[in-house]
Amino acid sequence: MDKAIITLTKGGTELGMKLLEHIDKAVLYTNPKFYIKEKHVKKIDGKIVEFIGKIFNKYKCLIFIMATGIVVRSIAPYIKDKKIDPAVIVLDEEGKNVISLLSGHIGGANEYTNKIASILNANPVITTASDVKNTLAVDTLAMELNCEIEDFQDATKVTAHIVNGEKVGIISDICIGRVLPENMVEIDFKNKPHEEFKGFIYITDKRILSPVESDCVVLRPKNIVIGIGCRRKKPVDKIIEAIEDSLISLNISKKSIKHIATVDVKKNEEGIIQAAKLLGVPLVIVDREKIKEVEDQFKGSEFVKKRIGVCAVSEPVAFLSSESGQMIQKKKVYDGITIAVFREGEKKNGNCCNRN
């Protein structure tokens, strides 16, 4: 379950039951007085403010069917940062208005609001300037392209230029694959004078400093795959050092790592597991049978083959888990640790391609 519907009234419970019919992965929490013994319906335990504290970070989206004032007071103690707060939506119990209250862009509240309003034939209430003016905020673009924003203060400055109708240039290493507002222009920075632009958006996995005097934000596409092989019990700090050294030599940001990949025989290797956790990325395990299908494309070792059944690890696991991506670093050896780096391949849907 990633969505919670919360209500305190009989009418709200009835509306909540209706939403449950149309919304996947949702649970309804209601006042015990109006509890209905149905699947995915639960009782609110204790005072509403304390109860919200228990579930605030448990769900991606909180859908309240109650007065906005109650909701604001209930969530206020738990709001931290728009990067991590859940989407918060408020409905009246008649289902006439659906309000996007918190985490409109990154949390997805605006998108959820429109979907719920469509289900109920209700009025969606969205107040973020970029949506009202039918333009594009930096955080929305980042979410659409699966990019990490390097600095949210920079994103706010550049979004302000966009909303105010000022010209913003986009310098991107990946295909954007969507129609942009008229004042957002894809440019080749080397050949385009920048005086006419009030801000810039760089979309790149390369390590760069702020490249212009104007307001600038850097978006990091999640397109770098790290393949790892190692001897048993290699410590996590040595694995992190090997990854960092490889990325520095390639001039690539750690923020663009999509995942780490290794072979199934290493799935319980603590150093690799901890490295993925420290970097905040998934660990992808590749079956040896899959590696056997492609291992002849890579330089291997008979010694490794005798030990684990395949002749290579870091290159084939990165290749296989990167959608047949582009190798940007062949296997590099660091005292019992091997690192290969791939840039993710072209998406199958054709909406995104690699320009590097």
More confident residue, 280 or 213: 280
- Angle at which helix 68-75 crosses helix 48-55, to 10 degrees, equals 60
- Alpha-carbon gap, residue 209 to 226, rounded angstroms: 23
pLDDT in the model for residue 285: 97
Sequence-separated (6 or more) residues with CB below 8 Å from residue 154:
215, 216, 217, 218
In a domain, 235, yes or no: yes
- Total domains in the chain come to 3
Residue that terminates a domain, selected from 190, 221, 252: 221
User: Does 8 share its domain with 82?
Assistant: yes
**Average pLDDT of span 6-20:** 94
- Predicted confidence (pLDDT) at residue 36 exceeds the cutoff of 60: yes
pLDDT tens column, 99-153: 999 988 888 899 999 999 999 999 999 988 777 777 888 988 998 899 999 988 9
In a domain, 102, yes or no: yes
- Predicted confidence (pLDDT) at residue 333 exceeds the cutoff of 60: yes
- Predicted confidence (pLDDT) at residue 339 exceeds the cutoff of 70: yes
pLDDT tens column, 68-114: 999 999 999 999 988 889 999 999 999 999 999 998 888 889 999 99
- Alpha-carbon gap, residue 297 to 143, rounded angstroms: 35
pLDDT in the model for residue 108: 86
User: Does 336 share its domain with 228?
Assistant: yes
Phi/psi of residue 48, each to 5°? Answer: -60, -40
Question: What's 158's domain CATH number?
Answer: 3.40.1390.40
| DSSP secondary structure string for all residues of 157-188 | HHHHHHHTT--EEEEESB---SPPPTTEEE--
Phi/psi of residue 103, each to 5°? Answer: 60, 55
In a domain, 352, yes or no: no
Q: pLDDT grade, residue 209 (50/70/90)?
A: low
Tokens encoding 101: 């209250």
- Predicted confidence (pLDDT) at residue 37 exceeds the cutoff of 90: no
More confident residue, 105 or 220: 220
In a domain, 251, yes or no: yes
- Predicted confidence (pLDDT) at residue 55 exceeds the cutoff of 60: yes
Strands (E), 182-325: 184-186, 199-203, 215-221, 224-230, 257-263, 283-286
Helix (H) or strand (E) holding 305: helix 302-308
pLDDT tens column, 233-265: 999 999 999 999 999 999 999 999 999 999 999
**Mapping DSSP to helix (H, G, I), strand (E, B) and coil, where does residue 108 land?**
coil
**Mapping DSSP to helix (H, G, I), strand (E, B) and coil, where does residue 200 land?**
strand
Question: What's 83's domain CATH number?
Answer: 3.40.50.11220
The chain-wide mean pLDDT, for the chain, equals 89
- Predicted confidence (pLDDT) at residue 348 exceeds the cutoff of 50: no
- Predicted confidence (pLDDT) at residue 346 exceeds the cutoff of 50: yes
pLDDT tens column, 286-325: 999 999 999 889 988 888 888 888 889 999 999 999 987 8
User: Does 205 share its domain with 241?
Assistant: no
Show the domain range for 44. Answer: 3-127
Helix (H) or strand (E) holding 275: helix 270-279
Residue that terminates a domain, selected from 183, 204, 221: 221
Question: What's 295's domain CATH number?
Answer: 3.30.420.180
Residue that terminates a domain, selected from 96, 127, 158: 127
